[in-house]
Amino acid sequence: MKGGPDIVLLGPQRIDPVVRAAVIAPDIGAALAELGVRGRVALVTAGWQEREADDEPLVRAMAVPADNLRLHARSQEVFAADAPLSAAYSARQELLRHLQSFYRIRLDKTDDAARAISVRHVEPELLAQEWRVSVEQFRQLDVDHLERCRAIHAAFDDRWQLGSRPAITRHRDELRALIEPAAALVIAGGHVASLLNRLKLFDVLELAGGKPIVAWSAGAMCLTDRVVLFHDFPPYGSDIAQVLDAGFGLVPGVVVLPDAARRVRQDDRAGIGRFAQRMAPATCVAMDPGARLTLTGTRLRAAHAARLTPDGDIDREWQR
Amino acid sequence: MSEKRRALAELESGPRTREAVDAWFAGRSFPIVDGPEITIVYRGEAEAVHLKHWVYGLPSSQQLHRVKDTDVWHLTLELPPGSRVEYKLEVVRGGRGEWIQDPLNPSRARDPFGSNSVAHGTGYEVPAWIHPDPTVAPGRIDELFINSKAFGRRTFGLYVPPRFRKTRRYPLLIVHDGHDYLRYASLGTILDNLIGRLEIPDMVVALTSSPNRLGEYADDERHASFLVDDLVPYLERRLPIDPRPQARCVMGASFGAVATLAAAWRRPGFFGRLLLQSGSFAFTDIGDRNHRGPLFDPVVAFMNHFRARPLAVAERVFVSCGTYESLIYENRSLVPLLQSTGMDVRYVEARDGHNWENWRDRLREGLSWLFPGPLLLVYD
């Protein structure tokens, strides 16, 4: 092993979110071929939740056979079999949702303060200084939130020792048997919280060891240090990007922004700049259809994607 | 020259024969919307024709002008961008006025009293999400009844989302005048579409109606008890409903909004989410008599009490009102009061009146803000 698995992150595969009947303009097949993956792969579609088994169009697009790990269904089985764990897990999720909403309120108020200060009629140098203070406040909120999430997960793991609960170990054994012979691990997008939780519950990335990983959208987000939720066009008008939780850190120093062309206000230079500064030193990468990041271990080997810059630009020619 | 001026000048300068007037009408659509102005046109013999509308701030009856020696009547008025105005025409013949829909305007809006013609200002578009979407799975609506302690037997509608599963827990939305929301504000289709687009979560929706809404909705303890002690427990016993206040919302329009706020005030913390549309939140700053009449007396008493001691009755409150409504003052006044309690409040105005399509058009923003769907979490 050269310090970690080969990892390829892709842009959206445009799978119909409702019926999942089609994969439009996919490049997953090409990515697997470039990695030299020709054999059976282990597939994670847990982000599709109850519809995780509807993988036929995706498997067709991959052009290699696949074993769907059925993480969502397995998690349902675990919760049905282990009532105390299920109750504790629900309570943990409830607590995380509360923290997320409190963090979100603090972000909104910080945003209000930043906007109120930004329209004051004072020297530009002072405004620039205040801008930096505002960015730093956002960064601190993000750090604090992530720390609190980590602490909750650590306490939960410590209390419940997932690796020794029969309801889980049985599945982990089955998953090991499916993953071991696989040529690669493929992680599709979908509901990022649901996916992240199930990858953690079954320790799938540990089971995958040094196998090549191809992931896109929510799957790609889970592999980074921080899962950052964003949407500049929600139906209720506007929203502010927020850290959801820690990812697995296999792709460090990158914030993945799937489908950014649709979700990021492209002409909002101030907003883009502030977001990039807030996430620095991580690189904010717009993963639109056709985008690709290739890593060996934790080293970014090749990039074909757009990058959000601290100056508020979208660098569409970013190549490495 | 503006389109309206050009059109009217053409009519007034041309021959006044029936054929010439027929030719003028041919190929034109009415009313004529021209920038910030709208021209209503009527054709027919009459002693007078009046525009009747419910735009607060404008005379509710305005006379159309007759083009001399013709049976053509017209009236131009200001219609700011994005406006939506419902109206009728009063045609006076033989000394008697008859209210009719504008025969030249195909756009109509229905309500419990019939239907009105609708004028759309520049920039107003009927939202795409109110129309049935064949790619979206529909929910199911059934009529049920409950034997309540508060009111005895009451029927209500129940919307259950597509792909309903007993293993999940669903938020609960209670809609005052829910059957009217279905009929006149396309609520069923809107729920299907917003759920299908991931803009709101899958949810269970109870659609209540009252045989005496003006009485029961005006801060009646029995009504609060009906919702909190009868209906919600009944639903929670039968369906996998999330019992947390954060997952409970109650909503309504006009007196239904009063019923919503009053129920939340009588049971603070039970409902985590409130959606208040064009609430009839009448109040007085001195004395206890409101100009709206005795039906509003209990509302005034409630609102005065609430204004004196505002409470954080829920966590999030969405308030909307039309700027052409007489209730705009009351709703604007309510917002800072709600905010002062620490509740998370969003207030939205639209250039529209006290009508069902105004309430329909605000549903997407209101529901998705109160109950954000998985859109922010889903990255395919």
Same domain, B55 and B172: no
Token pair for residue A83?
A: 């009532």
Q: Do A236 and B135 lie within an 8 Å CB cutoff? A: no
Same domain, B106 and B152: no
Measured between beta carbons, the chain A residues lying within 8 angstroms of B376 are: 229-231, 234, 239
- Partner B contacted by A19 (CB < 8 A): yes
Omega within 30 of 0 (cis) for the link into B31 = yes
Per DSSP, helices labelled H in A41-123 are: 56-62, 71-81, 83-118
Same domain, B176 and B273: yes
Nearest Cα residue to B37 out of B72, B107, B85, B71: B85
Phi/psi-derived region of residue B219, left when phi > 0, alpha when psi is between -120 and 50, beta in every other case = left
Which of B64, B96, B120 is the C-terminal boundary of a domain?
Answer: B120
Q: What is the pLDDT of residues A93-126, one digit of tens each?
A: 999 999 999 999 999 999 999 999 999 999 999 9
C-alpha dist (Å) from residue B147 to A87, B8, B144, B208, B251: 34, 62, 10, 14, 22
Same domain, B95 and B186: no
Residue B40 CA to residue B74 CA, distance in Å, equals 5
Q: How far is A277 from chain B (nearest CA, A)?
A: 21
Q: Do A190 and B378 lie within an 8 Å CB cutoff? A: yes
Measured between beta carbons, the chain A residues lying within 8 angstroms of B368 are: 234-236
Residue A251: count other Cβ atoms within 10 Å of its Cβ.
Answer: 25
Same domain, B21 and B152: no
Measured between beta carbons, the chain B residues lying within 8 angstroms of A285 are: none
Same domain, B172 and B271: yes
Interface size A-B, in CB pairs within 8 Å, comes to: 71
The residue written with tokens 């309500």 in the block is: B111
Nearest Cα residue to A32 out of A7, A52, A68: A7
Name the helix (H) or strand (E) containing A130. Answer: helix A124-160
Measured between beta carbons, the chain B residues lying within 8 angstroms of A215 are: none
Same domain, B40 and B141: no
> Residue B139 sits in which domain range?
128-377
Same domain, B262 and B354: yes
Task: Kindly report the CATH number assigned to the domain that includes residue B29.
Answer: 2.60.40.10
Same domain, B261 and B283: yes
Same domain, B234 and B369: yes
Same domain, B195 and B330: yes
Which of B64, B85, B120 is the C-terminal boundary of a domain?
Answer: B120
Specify the range with the lowest mean pLDDT, choosing from A34-38, A194-198, A306-310, B220-224.
Answer: A34-38
Nearest to B378 among A17, A94, A234 (CB): A17
Task: Tell me how many domains chain B contains.
Answer: 2
Q: Do A235 and B374 lie within an 8 Å CB cutoff? A: no
What local confidence, expressed as pLDDT, does residue B40 receive? 96
- Partner A contacted by B80 (CB < 8 A): no
Q: Do B377 and A191 lie within an 8 Å CB cutoff? A: yes
Measured between beta carbons, the chain B residues lying within 8 angstroms of A234 are: 199, 368, 372, 375-376
Residue B352 CA to residue B86 CA, distance in Å, equals 8
Nearest to B375 among A76, A94, A231 (CB): A231
Token pair for residue B271?
A: 């409902």
Residue of A44, A236, A255 best to disrupt the B interface, most CBs of B under 10 A: A236
Measured between beta carbons, the chain A residues lying within 8 angstroms of B163 are: 50
Residues present in chain B in total: 380
- Partner A contacted by B372 (CB < 8 A): yes
Measured between beta carbons, the chain B residues lying within 8 angstroms of A81 are: none
Tens of pLDDT along chain B (380 residues) come to 677 778 888 888 888 899 999 999 998 999 999 999 999 999 999 999 999 999 998 999 999 999 999 999 999 999 999 999 999 999 999 999 999 999 999 999 999 999 999 999 999 999 999 999 999 999 999 999 999 999 999 999 999 999 999 989 999 999 999 999 999 999 999 999 999 999 999 999 999 999 999 999 999 999 999 999 999 999 999 999 999 999 999 999 999 999 999 999 999 999 999 999 999 999 999 987 888 999 999 999 999 999 999 999 999 999 999 999 999 999 999 999 999 999 999 999 999 999 999 999 999 999 999 999 999 999 99
Complex ipTM value: 0.96
Same domain, B338 and B198: yes
